[in-house]
Amino acid sequence: MQFLAYILIYPILWLISILPFRLLYAFSDFIFVWIYYIFGYRKAAVKGNLRLAFPNKSEQELQVIMKGFYHHLCDMILESIKSLSITESQIIKRFKFTNLDEIEQFQKENRSIIAICGHYASWEWIVTLQKYMNFKGYGVYKKLKNPYFDRLAKRIRGKYKSYLITTKETIPTLVRSNKNGELFLCGMAADQSPKLKKAYHWNEFMGVKVPVHTGAEMISKRLNLPVVFLDVKKVKRGHYEATFETIAKDPKSFNDYEITDRFLKLVEQQIRRDPQYYLWTHKRWKHKNEVPKKYQ
């Protein structure tokens, strides 16, 4: 059944991917009408998240943000599909890095890097970073249930010498690479909610106390890897700029969870700057009422 789904859906995805960008975004506008007005995909969750994050904004202001978000969400979906056939020159033109020297310094020092970002603007096209550096690229992801689409996702990233690894594979893979003297950059989006049984730290995010992922900090301290934040901005439709900001050059010198908290503040800055580009469909604040007493 999974293979049947793949062979039926893949040709459709391919045909969408070869659309010129002008038609691609026209199709995105069409999908927006269905997702927002007809199906109302997760509108209750999005509105609830926005009310929590921006309690002082009016309903009219939240409505503007919400519509902007759904337009952007549809663009991201189509841009992900476009990755099937997009040329290297096209993606480099549309996703630019403003200060590569920020990470080149670590390459000169023969140091591998942990790069973290939020689910903001665009994270699909970050894989082009491998075109500018000699690091081996790893991206931490959640494995897809359909093994055929999972292999497809890995193949797309592989075009840019970036390799997907699951959360379970992350530590053994990086420990092995580090032991073998291999230079790597491991990227992960670390702003979503962890499972409660794996919540080792709680802090305020957009004014609400929630559990936060600490894996990036833990790995950086274990292997003494600098931590760099990737701030992605949407310049205009289909065009993005990414800027690196070093959070920790020597992670072992930081107090526990200080690196994690700094990262969270940087994601907050992104959201407050242009809130419509954050991934509001995820239930980021679902554990807000389950704060352990020691964190209250």
**pLDDT at residue number 19:** 96
* Closest to 263 measured CA to CA, from 208, 209, 221, 203: 203
Strand runs (DSSP E) across the chain, as ranges?
95-97, 113-117, 136-141, 162-166, 184-189, 202-205, 208-211, 227-236, 239-248
Question: Which is more confident, 200 or 43?
Answer: 43
**pLDDT at residue number 129:** 87
Question: Which is more confident, 100 or 134?
Answer: 100
Domain-wise residue ranges, the chain? 2-290
* Helix (H/G/I), strand (E/B), else coil: 134: coil
pLDDT by residue (tens digit) across 76-115?
A: 999 999 999 999 889 999 999 999 999 999 988 999 999 9
Share of the chain above pLDDT 90, in %: 70
pLDDT by residue (tens digit) across 162-219?
A: 888 988 899 999 999 999 989 999 999 989 888 888 888 999 999 999 999 999 999 9
* Helix (H/G/I), strand (E/B), else coil: 88: helix
**pLDDT at residue number 180:** 92
Task: Look up residue 62 and give its DSSP letter.
Answer: H
Question: Which is more confident, 6 or 28?
Answer: 28
pLDDT by residue (tens digit) across 234-259?
A: 999 999 999 999 999 999 999 999 99
Question: Which is more confident, 254 or 129?
Answer: 254
Question: Which is more confident, 232 or 152?
Answer: 232
Question: Within 10 A of 163 (CB to CB), how many other CB atoms are there?
Answer: 18
Q: Which of 9-13, 47-51, 271-275 has the lowest mean pLDDT?
A: 9-13
* Helix (H/G/I), strand (E/B), else coil: 5: helix
Residue 293, pLDDT > 80, answer no
Residue 159, pLDDT > 80, answer no
Q: How far is CA 255 from the centre of its chain?
A: 25
What pTM, to 2 d.p., does this model score? 0.93
**pLDDT at residue number 296:** 67
The two structure tokens encoding residue 269: 């800055």
